[in-house]
Structures are given as C-alpha cells and as structure tokens.
A and B are shown apart, each in its own frame.
Chain A
Amino acid sequence: MREQTLSGDHQEIVRLDNACKVYQMGAAEVRALAGITVAFKRGDFWAIMGPSGSGKSTMMNILGCLDRLTSGSYYFEGNDVSRLNDDALSEMRLRHLGFIFQSFNLIPQLTVQRNIELPLYYLGWDALQSAQRAKELAEQVALADRLHHRPSELSGGEMQRVAIARALANDPQVIFADEPTGNLDSATGAQIMEVLTKLNEEGKTIIMVTHEPDIAAYAGNRLHMIDGNIDRIEQGSHETD
C-alpha cells in the first residue's frame, strides 16, 4: 500500500485525507471507507476497481459529492468540501461534476434534447442557449439526428451517449462514470470507452468505477480497493505496485 503526498500541488483536483465512511446497518457498523488518503491529478483517467462491497461505490459517491464522509476530509481543487451542506453539495455537482451511470438514468418522458439540457436548466440558462448547446453536444456524441427522440426509442449505446452529452453540458471538471458499460454488449461498450478516452485526451478528468479489467484497461490509472481500503494503485501503463 502506498500513500500519495501531493498536497499543495495545484495539479491535484480531488484529494481524500483519512476518509472514513461508516454505515449503520442495524446493530452492526460497516466501514465502507476505512481511512483512505489518496489524490487524483487534473486530466487523469482513473479506474476504481474491486469486488462488490470493497467500498468503490462509496468512494465514487463521496468524490461525486452525493454523500458525505463520517470523518476525514475531502478537498476539491484544494477546497475542503467535506463539511458542505446539502445545497452547497448540489451546487458542486451542478457546476463542477458530471455523471454517467450503468443504467444510463435518462428521464424517460423527456426528449434527448431536454435530457441533455437538464443541467443547463438548473444552471439557469435560457431556452435558446440551452437548445444550441444541446445540439452541439449531441453532435459531439454523434446523435444530432436523435435530438427529438425519447430515450425508449434509442439503443443502449445511444442512451449512454446521451448520458455522456448530458454529463458534459455543464463543462465539468470531473466526469464520474459508474460502470458505464455494465448494461452494454462488449462492442458497444468499447465504443463508449472510446468516447470517454477521447474526452480524457481532450483534458477531462475521468473517474470510473468498474469491475471489468478490460474496461479498466482504458484508464491510465487504476486503484484497487478491498474492504474499504486501498489494495494497490497502478499508475500509468508502466507502473504497478
């Protein structure tokens, strides 16, 4: 096990400091994160791996500002966000983060365009600008001709591309992808991973949770977790530990 000590480095975008997350399951306490210290750099592509129950989803929720630590600290771009209230966390997600999920999580009654526009709606963009931005994003994921379709009319791969477009709408600092290929066949999964790789090459920081080594291989860095702890970290294609 290895600790990274990169505090003060402004290349660092997220950093956990002795992060603990404890769930109360009836009488038993479950330590989903057992004091993790780790930092990811801007522009990195990380895969968080581990068996189920290893704490990788909790890690993702914490980093994605969907959940709060029981103890320890979480710094986002050097700012402590571990004590923020619910509204401030919502604001963090709205302005700085983007999400891609295994089951796509598009809103079924909204068209592709309206799904992509969703973050812009909460950002307070006007309708015209939002429509323009949605169109550009749809083009970016090769879905310009699907703007007025509903999610139910799309294939799995197309739905996930809509989700990616939506995650990009607010021009986030970090994109979180939770098993993005879990519901897709391997060929479509590969296409999605190519889109994500391309985004990373263009400078986006991506943090992805997966248990598939093939998928994790797309990421430059891999963090293996076990029982709420970091098992090992593989940085770059050359570095193993």
Chain B
Amino acid sequence: MRQTRITRNILLGIENLLLHKLRSFLTMLGVVFGVGSVVAMLSVGEGASKEALSQIRKLGSTNIIVTSIKSAEEEATATTHSHISVYGLTYEDHRRMSEGFSNIRQTAPVKLMRKDSRLRERAIELRVVGTTPTWFDLVRRDIIAGRILLPQDQKNLAPVAVLTEFGARKLLATESVIGQTIRVGGDEFEVIGIVKSESGQAGNIQIPDQEIDAYIPIEVARQYFGDIFTKVTSGSFDREMVELNQIIVQVDETDHVEATAAGIERMLERFHKKKDYIVSVPLALLKQAEATKRTFNIVLGSIAGISLLVGGIGIMNIMLASVTERTREIGIRRAIGAKRRQIVFQFLIETVVLSTTGGIIGLGVGVLIPLAITYFSGMMTLLTLSGVLLPLLISMTIGIIFGLYPAMRAAKVDPIVALRHE
C-alpha cells in the first residue's frame, strides 16, 4: 500500500515534469553538469593517483634506493677530452651499508652498463645489470622460465645471464633461449632464466629495471667490464669511473625506513666529498603521493560541491516558480483533503525526480568523458563504485535539500486564498 503510494507519487511527479519538458531539462542541466564533472574528475584523479601509487609500490615500501649521480662540480669540469670523471657509490659504501646498520635486512648493489649484444644473428643493445641474487627479492620480479642468479654463480664467477621477458622476445626467443649463449660486449654468457619485465618512472626515481635488461653476477660484471666506461657523445669521449650505479636497501620494518635513510645519508656524507648520490625513499614518496591525492580530492570535492550547489539553487529557483504557478492546484488538492505533508511530499518527490534524473544523465556524461580521455590520451582513468554512487546519492540529497523549501512554501498555501487565485 505504502509502496504503491510512493510509486504513484513518483509517477505523478514524472508526469508533471513531462508537462514542461524543456523547462525540466534546462532545470536539471545544472545537476547534469555538476554530477558529470564530479564523476569525470573523480575517475581521472583516481586513475592518476592509482598509477602513481602502484609505481611507487613497485619500488617497495621498505626499500631505500641510493643512486649515483654526477655532482654539479663534476658536470662543469667534464668538458676536457682526456678527463675521467670519478664519482658515485663505491663497493665500500655497499659494504658499510650491509654491515653497519642493524635495521637493514638485505642490500643489492647494482652496476649498470649498456652493451651491444647478440643472440645468434639477432643484435640488440642491452642494459647490463650487474647485481646479486638479492636483487630479485628486493624488486619482486616473477620468474617466467629457468632460474635467477644464485650465490654460487657469484662465487664461481659464472658467466650467466637472466633476461627480461621483453628482452627475450626482442631477441626472438622465449623459453628455448634458456641454455643458449648470448654475446654481451665481447664475452659470452649462458642464459639461465627469464623474469617478468616492468618499466616506468615513479616520482623521480628510475625503477631499477628496464624493459631490456640482462642480469649478471656483479663480480662477473666487475671482472669482465671493469669500472671505467666510455661514452661517445657527438665526437667527444666521456670517460667515467663509477663503481656502483645503485644500491637498493631493504629495511626490516616500514617504521624504520626514514631513520635508516637518514643514517645512510649521514654515513655517505662522511665518506663522500661531493654530493654524488641521491637517497630516495619510495615510502616517503608514497606518503607524499597519498597526501597529494587527499589534497586533490578536497579540491575536486570543493569544485564539485560548488557546481552541485549551483545546480541545486537552479532547481530550487524553478520549483519556487512552479509553486507560485501551481498555487491554485495546491489549493484544490488541499480543499479536497490533502494534508500539508502530502503536498510537501508531492513537491519534494518532483524535485528529487528532477535532480536524480539529472544525476543519472550526468553520470552517463561523466562516464563517457574519462573513457574518451583514456581513448585519446592513454591516461589511466578509474571508475570506482563509490565514484559512481556518491554523485548519485549527492544528486538525490540535493533534490531533498533544495526541494524542501519550495515544498514547504507549497504546503503553507492557504486553500481559501489559493482557490480565489487567478
């Protein structure tokens, strides 16, 4: 009974709104745009922050990444031809980190170099990563085939290499590549495994692996390729001596990450004359990204709030006009026996139908916009359930809030006066 009453009220409301189609449509336009922009902004914002957060997470929340950089002074003097720039992290730094901190669980030294490589007749430029078995644990890469580096490879100075999936594909080889010989620079390595590849930037930290990597034992890298690299740039040689390009440190607990990072920073400061390293903390970036997301949400929320407020005021305005216009109708209904609250309900339903319809249309618009953005710009957008339900709920609430005053006005109409109203 009650149920059918409400349904009939809603139908009556829809009927009344359909009497003035253009007016109803224009009235709900404010809510359409309001909800549309909320949904679109939420999904774009959600997508962007999710992308950033997931990339930071890839770096590991308990990890600290120390990277060698050319210091500013070094950069300035490196113009002469036969100059060797010596900078960056050293094997000694790595030893100090792995031994001198009680909170550090494990470390992975990383030596990076670019080498022309070939697998049978297929040639490719590989980024060769000299590292230890802990590397795979720290960056959490799945093994696709074969095995990863083992401590005995390190000890035996075994010329073995692990490729990334993407790199293996580039070399036109999949699982069958395992056991084959790959030529890196002038030396031969046996391919022992393939791991999943990930790539990208997170904040300002370069993710330790790239698409086309070959992982070899660091001791082998050191023995085969040495510490001095020659870069040929537009006719001039740049010679650099870098022992380690990166040290990845894993801390036992997230609570200790920041203190340990500060400790590493202090230790490095003591042993390095120049600032030729950067200590990056993914966790700090994560926290920063989350804070940014919160701020972003607040800003979006305010903009959305304002647009919905404007939409709501538009609805209220029209409903007030409608109440005046329909004074006589209200009088008739009251004379026939409608109670005040039934009049309130009638007008409130009409406003809610109006605002909710606007909300649903706005939702459609708001869903299409991020799809278009993703289609045309490739930017990640994410439509969450709450990102859809919240604006709908808000549009209904707006109907109630902004419909209440006109509805009360309608209920206050004196039937005697209203019936004489022309």
A associates with B: yes
Contact B19 A90 (CB under 8 A): no
Query: Which residue of chain A has the shortest Cβ distance to B411 in the bound complex?
Result: A86
List residues 84-106 of chain A with CB under 8 A from any CB of chain B. Answer: 86-87, 90-95, 97, 99, 101, 103, 105-106
Q: B40-48, B126-134, B172-180, B332-340: which one contacts chain A?
A: B332-340
Q: In this complex, what residue of B is CB-closest to A115?
A: B332
Question: Measured between C-beta atoms, what is the minimum distance from A24 to chain B in Å?
Answer: 15
B334 touches A90 (CB 8 A): yes
- Say yes or no: A107-B332 contact (C-beta < 8 A), given A87-B340, A126-B4, A127-B8: yes
On whether the beta carbons of A107 and B329 are closer than 8 Å, the reply is yes
B5's partner among A87, A94, A118, A124 (CB-CB below 8 A) is A124
Q: Is B328 among interface residues, defined by CB-CB distance under 8 A?
A: yes
Contact of A109 with B by CB under 8 A:
yes
Q: Is B385 located at the chain interface by the 8 A CB criterion?
A: no
Interface residues on B, range: 20 to 34
B351-384: contact bitstring with A at CB < 8 Å (1 yes, 0 no)? 0000000000000000000000000000000000
Q: Please judge, given known A-B contacts A67-B416, A105-B419, whether A99 and B340 are in contact too, CB under 8 Å.
A: no
Q: Which residues of the other chain, A, contact B329 by a CB distance below 8 angstroms?
A: 107-108
Contact A118 B16 (CB under 8 A): no
Bound complex: CA A108 to CA B19 (Å): 11
Interface residues of B in 307-357 (CB under 8 A from A): 328-329, 331-340, 342
Q: Bound complex: CA of A166 vs CA of B331, how far in Å? A: 15
- How many of chain A's residues have a CB under 8 angstroms from any CB in B? 31
B11 to chain A, nearest CB (A): 10
Chain A residues, CB < 8 A from B416 = 61, 66-67
B338 proximity list for chain A (CB < 8 A):
90, 94, 122
Closest Cβ–Cβ distance, residue A22 to chain B (whole Å): 15
A127 to B12, CA, bound (A): 13
A119 adjacent to B336 (CB under 8 Å): yes
Smallest CB–CB gap between B414 and chain A, Å? 9
Question: With A67-B416, A107-B329 given, is the CB distance from A119 to B19 under 8 Å?
Answer: no
Additional A-B contacts beyond A90-B340, A94-B337, A170-B337 (5; CB < 8 A): A66-B415, A91-B339, A93-B335, A109-B15, A109-B19
The 3 closest A-B pairs by CB, nearest first: A94-B337, A93-B337, A90-B339
A residues with a Cβ closer than 8 A to B are: 61, 64, 66-67, 86-87, 90-95, 97, 99, 101, 103, 105-109, 118-119, 121-124, 126-127, 166, 170
B interface residues with partner A (beta carbon < 8 Å) = 1, 4-5, 8, 15-16, 19, 328-329, 331-340, 342, 415-416, 419, 422
